[in-house]
Structures are given as C-alpha cells and as structure tokens.
Structure 1
C-alpha cells in the first residue's frame, strides 16, 4: 500500500521539476511582480504559464527562413551588381586609355607633312597629297567611331 502512494507522489514531484515555476506577488506599494522563486517577505501564488503552440514556432521558423533567403538573395544581387559595375569601370578605363592614345596618334599624324610607304628594297615611297588627305580622313573617322566626337 505504501508503494502505491509513493509512485504517484514521485510522478507528481517529477512533473514539478520538468517545468520552471513562476510566482506572482504584490509588494507594499501595490506593484505586481513575477519571479522564478517566491519572495521570503510576501505571500505569493504560482502562476501557470502556457507555452506558445508549436505552430507559432513553426511559423516563426518559416518567417525566419524566408527572411534569411531574402537577405541572401539581396546579397547575391548586390555582389553581382558590384561585379558588373567593376567590369564596366575597367572597360571604360581601357576605352579611355585607348582613346587617349588614338588622339595622341591623330595629333602626331596632323603634324606630319606627308606619308610614305616602304618598297621591297626598304626605300621610302612618298604618297600623293590626295592620298595624304584620305589617310588623315580615314584615321579621323576611325577615332570618331571608336571614341566619339
């Protein structure tokens, strides 16, 4: 008979250890307090705290997962955009350098009075004035096409 009473008593006491107790009391100023231990100077009552349902935790996890995916997607898009901008800057710098060199060649070309070609013997063969103008015009058009105005 004593054993039968001990087993339910043990199970009840085990249940109290499995959850933390919350105590409520009111102090001398009329303020309500809550704590995990009852106060020594005031009378208190144990308050039952209901845990959030498992669905709320699942919903919170799903929201967190969606937010994490969104943040990751934004980060990937930002990195792709920054890489594209860096690539565009590099191309623009190369284009600018190429145009600078072409403009320098054009300026040099305009300072030359006449052009020549080398024949099979390595001798200079000067071109006509009309050919000079054609060479200059073609090069100016090429610079305008590649570099704008």
Structure 2
C-alpha cells in the first residue's frame, strides 16, 4: 500500500497495539461509524487527545498537573499560587485546597489521564511519574511546615 508523503511511521509497544486493537474492535461492534481502518482509528484517537489537551489549556490556563503518586494527584493553581492535592477516597475525588468534592480543581483532574492511576498498584505507575509526584509532595509539605511555623 503506498504511503502518503505526509505520513510518518512510528513504533508502538506490542501491548499498546493489542489494547488499541481490542478497543477498536469493541467500538466497531457498538458504533458502525467508527473508522473501518485500524490506523485511521488510532489517528482519530490521538487527535482527540490533542484536542482535549488544547481544550484544557484554553479552559483552565492557570492550572497544570505537577505530579502524581499512587494516591495523590498534584495540581498547581497559578491564580492561588498554591499546589492542591487531589485524593481518591471511597470512589470520590477530594481537593485539599478547597476541601471539596466538586470544585474547579476536581473538574480539571477528571480531564487528566493520570487521575485513573490513583490508588492503583505501584507497578502500574511509571517510575518517573512517581518520583516527580514524591518531589512535589516534599516541596508542598515543607512549605506547609514553614507557613505553620511563621504563623506561630
């Protein structure tokens, strides 16, 4: 099959291709309008992810995902100049900054892919993601201690 000049070959891990192919088959069973070509389906899926990221940058330009540990998602709020911790407990997300289950930070967290990794087995989280989350946790804890000491 001839390749378009605008196309580029990329390498995907075998397990990712299997997951994508299973998702494509399930989607085709449910929805007859899903792309009939596997490559087209993957392209549309990746394009949707890019659009979602662009939407988040437009919808909440003052929020950014700072890191993730096994049980906490850290989100930087540049308006408040604070980092909030989003915890999953009893199948509900809780924002430590707003002390809420339904604030703007929770809405932002729900749109990020890492929120699905909260409270999963440690092996499923990439080591660099866990390390970044632990660094954010240390910084946040030390800032809280300094603020508590300066108030007393």
Q: TM-score, with normalisation over the residues of structure 2?
A: 0.24
Q: Greater CA radius of gyration, 1 or 2?
A: 1
Larger helix proportion of the pair: 1
- Specify which structure has the bigger relative contact order, considering alpha-carbon pairs within 8 angstroms and separated by 6 or more residues: 2
